[in-house]
Amino acid sequence: MITLTEENYIKAIYHLSKQGAENVNTNALAEAMNTKASSATDMIRKLSEKDYANYKKYKGVTLTETGKRIAINIIRKHRLWEVFLVEKLNFTWDEVHELAEQLEHIKSQKLIDELDIFLGHPTHDPHGDPIPNKDGEITYVEKTLLSQAQVNLRYSCVGVNDSSSEFLQYLNNNNISLGSIIEVMHIEPFDKSINIKANGKLLTVSQSVAKNLYLKKL
Amino acid sequence: MITLTEENYIKAIYHLSKQGAENVNTNALAEAMNTKASSATDMIRKLSEKDYANYKKYKGVTLTETGKRIAINIIRKHRLWEVFLVEKLNFTWDEVHELAEQLEHIKSQKLIDELDIFLGHPTHDPHGDPIPNKDGEITYVEKTLLSQAQVNLRYSCVGVNDSSSEFLQYLNNNNISLGSIIEVMHIEPFDKSINIKANGKLLTVSQSVAKNLYLKKL
DNA sequence: ATAATTATTTAGATTAGTCTAAAAATATAT
DNA sequence: ATATATTTTTAGACTAATCTAAATAATTAT
Ligand SMILES: [Mn+2]
Ligand SMILES: [Mn+2]
Ligand SMILES: [Mn+2]
Ligand SMILES: [Mn+2]
């Protein structure tokens, strides 16, 4: 039996190894899990004993195939629940992440299969992230961070890198949502802040905002 | 913060004190929780320290008002989730209880409020049990156990006392569900087994079945 | 009223997950 | 190449929830 904590560590390892090197550092994992490095070491050991992870002392951790399968399944559940909350229960995209962190641990294959059917096999969650299919396959679409976008080009907003309510509410306040048209007007060399036209309205966003908004060239 | 285990003990105390004496025995609680009496004692102490329960050594345990409020809220969540699973996700009444045991612990007021709205404020769960409203009020309807029913009277099936899949599947196999018409034909004095006509079909049920089926006089 | 039985509590361990502080390994800078 | 800094692991302790075995209280039977 896999515990809730193990599931969360596995998911964290998965996400970290997608956005950085394949091998995940103990400190990075501890940071992501809001624990201390010593706790992360203990858990890495445990995951490795259970064959969810590959571990060599001082060399970081990677997931085994089993571990990856588990991670993807949790992510699938997380994102399907997010869709459910937004589409069926009147939640907004800034309200669902924390709750999905709870719901993703509910154990029932039939539940998730039926939820998927009930929602019409959605392909993306409310933040633009792809939903793995029943076989764990994930379809990635090309996307660019606003921080990497080119001046004078038109983009459409297709996702966020940070699903925290704080960031999403910032976007709400500036009328930016999935599908919004974003035009890059000017990049300020001094602090890399960016002048954009979002849905026709002028707006200046900081680098840290720009690093969390995904666009697609139009 | 209240733990999942605390919630389950509180719920068990609530159910036990509804069906027997107000004061719940340590052994009865341990039995219901599938633990040992010593574990129950420890938990009772903890609940009492947190003011969810009243406890006097050797005298059993009762819930405080706070404890009752918590119990009723968990039961509300449990039953709303059961309705959701049956009404929206194609589950049958014998498939939902265990899963609802997981879902009842999800913490989000908005989730449960919205689920209630989404389901159209259902008053009863798939097993005929009343769903407490937002204020914790429970409307009980009069019902008789089949084991207490009178010969030659016509009843309608309004609930079950045992929500286990085993019992519900037994009912499925005999075409009995909520709303089924049950006529009591004869009670065998030897073993108290009962001859009934269920939806027009003759059937003999044992005492232990009869003690788990709730009826309403027609 | 004693004795026997049953119920309950206590004592002491165990496991999962966490922590702090110290030790050891690795990486970086001079 | 050696010293310094950083990262990681180990050692030892804590809490929540559990267990077994033993002790004590309450109940029931004689
Ligand atoms: Mn999320
Ligand atoms: Mn998401
Ligand atoms: Mn149930
Ligand atoms: Mn029910």
Residue B76 domain flag: no
State the nearest Cα–Cα gap between B121 and chain A, in angstroms.
Answer: 14
Q: Which residue of B has its CA nearest to A101?
A: B106
Q: Name the band, by pLDDT with cuts 50, 70 and 90, for residue A69.
A: very high
Please name which ligand lies nearest the alpha carbon of B104: 3
Residue A28 domain flag: yes
Cβ neighbours of B91 in A, within 8 Å: 110, 114
SS3 per residue for chain A? CCCHHHHHHHHHHHHHHHHCCCCECHHHHHHHHCCCHHHHHHHHHHHHHCCCEEECCCCCEEECHHHHHHHHHHHHHHHHHHHHHHHHCCCCCCCCHHHHHHHCCCCCHHHHHHHHHHCCCCCECCCCCECCCCCCCCCCCCCEEHHHCCCCCEEEEEEECCCCHHHHHHHHHCCCCCCCEEEEEEECCCCCCEEEEECCEEEEECHHHHCCEEEEEC
Cβ-nearest to B106 among A88, A95, A102: A102
Buried b (16+ CB within 10 A) or exposed e, A134-164: eeeeeeeeebbebbebeeeeebebbbbbbbe
A28 Cβ within 7 A of any nucleic strand D atom:
yes
Residue B107 domain flag: no
- Cβ proximity of B70 and B10 under 8 Å: yes
B6 Cβ within 7 A of any nucleic strand D atom:
yes
Query: Considering the entire predicted model, what is its pTM?
Result: 0.95
- Which of B45, B63, B81 finishes a domain? B63
Cβ neighbours of A118 in B, within 8 Å: 88-89
CA of A16 to C1' of C23 (A): 28
What would you report as the CA-atom Rg of chain B, rounded to the nearest whole angstrom? 19
Residue A11 domain flag: yes
- Taking only the tens place, the pLDDT of each residue in A3-34 is 999 999 999 999 999 988 899 999 999 999 99
Residue A124 domain flag: no
User: Has residue A75 got a pLDDT over 90?
Assistant: yes
The CATH number assigned to the domain holding A180 equals: 2.30.30.90
Residue B23 domain flag: yes
Asked if B100 reaches chain A (Cβ–Cβ under 8 Å), the answer is no
Q: What is the mean pLDDT of chain B?
A: 97
The CATH number assigned to the domain holding A33 equals: 1.10.10.10
CA of A170 to C1' of C17 (A): 35
Asked if A102 reaches chain B (Cβ–Cβ under 8 Å), the answer is yes
Cβ neighbours of B115 in A, within 8 Å: 89
Q: Name the band, by pLDDT with cuts 50, 70 and 90, for residue A161.
A: very high
- Which of B63, B92, B114 finishes a domain? B63
B 169-208 residues with CB < 8 A to A? none
- Cβ proximity of A182 and A197 under 8 Å: yes
- Which of A37, A63, A89 finishes a domain? A63
Tell me what the mean pLDDT of segment B89-96 comes to: 98
User: Has residue A149 got a pLDDT over 90?
Assistant: yes
Residue B192 domain flag: yes
Tell me what the mean pLDDT of segment A153-177 comes to: 96
Helix, strand, or coil (residue B115) = helix
For residue A20, the model assigns a pLDDT of: 85
Buried b (16+ CB within 10 A) or exposed e, B1-25: eeeeebbbbbbbbbebbeeeeebbb
Query: In percent, how much of chain B has pLDDT > 70?
Result: 100
- Taking only the tens place, the pLDDT of each residue in B125-158 is 999 999 999 999 999 999 999 999 999 999 999 9
Domain extent for A181? 144-217
Residue B135 domain flag: no
Number of domains in chain B: 2
For residue A122, the model assigns a pLDDT of: 98
E strand or H helix at B155:
strand B154-160
- Taking only the tens place, the pLDDT of each residue in B6-49 is 999 999 999 999 988 899 999 999 999 999 999 999 999 999 99
